[in-house]
Chains A and B, each alone.
Chain A
Amino acid sequence: MRLDNLTQDQKLTYVGLLTEVQKDELVGQLYTDDSYFNPIQDATDNWIISVEEMEFCTIELFMWVKDLTLIEYTPKVNKL
């Protein structure tokens, strides 16, 4: 599954899969004006970024995020 193929509904449930090296490249970096990447881990400890970060990325150095493989997102559970 690729970014261009996502429906609006799928955008709510899919995320971009990162390698550990790619995660390290994105931490603390802007993906567009005044907006920073935030790689996080899903329930099975995959590193991921959101579809919004992929879609709205305008920084030349990181345009490769638009080609990331997409997976369904399963969040870690936080307690109240």
Chain B
Amino acid sequence: MKIGSTTINNCKIGSTQVNEIRIGSTLVWQFSSLDPDAQAFITAAGITNPTQQTAIDTLVLSLKANSLWAKMKAIYPMVGGTATTHKFNLKNPLDTNAAFRLSFVGGWTHSANGALPNGTNAYANSFLVPSAQLSLNSTHISYYSRTTGAVGNCFGAANLGLTNRTLWQFGGATNYISIYTAPANYFLYTGATSLSMLTANRTSSTLMNAWQGNVKKATSTNLSTALTSVALYLGGNNANGTPDTYSNAQCAFASVGDGLTDTDVTNFYTAVQAFQTTLGRQV
């Protein structure tokens, strides 16, 4: 509710909390004890389950307490069990491309455990174009995968000829990672699985790292070239406008944002893992 251009977040008479305001029988404002950003997402996505509401609120508070909230451009909690609830960006829960609301394309199965692409033709367009939103030497992307032995790109985008590529690709016991590199300048680690929160991170022109859970698995000094100028896809790769390399990794959370310090990644994982545990879907 607004009075003029001022948003009313709370209303008390003396020390007494007002719970709702009605004009006649029409409810025009209702008190919420939740964080306003969490409440906005819950309202947009139509999340009515109290456990899910609490999990989202706690996640937002934790991200803010650890100075991570401001570093995020898009956060996809994948809560609520349908495409309609999974599509919303926690940072800006508007149903528009400009708010980086996901558009699910191809064969997805949505459930309380997240969004499962089929590995055949499924991807989600984030509409988030790195060259318009992110910095060349400060970017992270995370994907909470609940699938062991997955294939394909859990996220990816590249320009013509696979230049300026951004990816996390599963290849058997090897994971391939890149943020804004030349075509062959991805890096990898072996002995890998596709299970856990996977975070690819660039913090300078000559430093990238890859995290599985809260363990740093690999680093690379491969140079950044230029920001990818097509939108990032989840569950597949955006090959300069054409989707390919589809994945079958179930997504229970994803994010895109600025580069993260090692401490940030650890705090981020702790917050997301607590979120998943509250929802009973942690891996």
**Is B104 a contact of A52 with CB atoms below 8 Å?**
no
| 0/1 string, A60-80, CB within 8 A of B gives 1 | 000000000000010100101
**Is A73 a contact of B120 with CB atoms below 8 Å?**
yes
Please give, as numbers and ranges, the residues of chain B lying within 8 Å of A15 by CB-CB distance: 120
- A36-B109 contact, Cβ under 8 Å, with A50-B122, A80-B176: no
Chain B residues close to A by CB (< 8 Å) = 82-84, 87, 103-109, 118, 120-123, 169, 171, 176, 186, 237, 243-245
| Contact-residue bracket for chain A | 20 to 34
Please give, as numbers and ranges, the residues of chain B lying within 8 Å of A48 by CB-CB distance: 121
Closest A residue, CB atoms, query B102: A34
| A38 contacts the other chain (CB 8 A) | yes
| A33 contacts the other chain (CB 8 A) | yes
- Distance to closest chain A CB from B94 (angstroms): 14
**Is B186 a contact of A50 with CB atoms below 8 Å?**
no
- Distance to closest chain B CB from A17 (angstroms): 13
Q: Give which listed residue, A35, A49, A50, contacts B83 with CB less than 8 A.
A: A35
Please give, as numbers and ranges, the residues of chain A lying within 8 Å of B103 by CB-CB distance: 34, 36
- Distance to closest chain B CB from A22 (angstroms): 15
**Is B106 a contact of A50 with CB atoms below 8 Å?**
yes
Please give, as numbers and ranges, the residues of chain A lying within 8 Å of B244 by CB-CB distance: 78
- Distance to closest chain B CB from A36 (angstroms): 5
